[in-house]
Amino acid sequence: MPLTMVAEGRRALLREVRGGRGVRGRLAAMGLVPGSEIEVLRNSGTGPFVVIVRNSRIVLGRGMAMKIEVD
Q: What is the pLDDT of residue 14?
A: 98
Query: Which segments in the chain show pLDDT lower than 70?
Result: none
Cβ atoms 1, 60 nearer than 8 A: no
Q: How crowded is the C-beta side of 56, counted as CA atoms within 13 Å?
A: 11
Q: What is the pLDDT of residue 5?
A: 95
Query: Hey, how many other C-beta atoms are within 10 angstroms of the C-beta on 29?
Result: 9
Residue range 3-70, CATH number: 2.30.30.90
Domain boundaries along the sequence of the chain:
3-70
Q: Name every residue whose Cβ is closer than 8 Å to that of residue 18 and which is 6 or more positions away in sequence.
A: 67, 68, 69
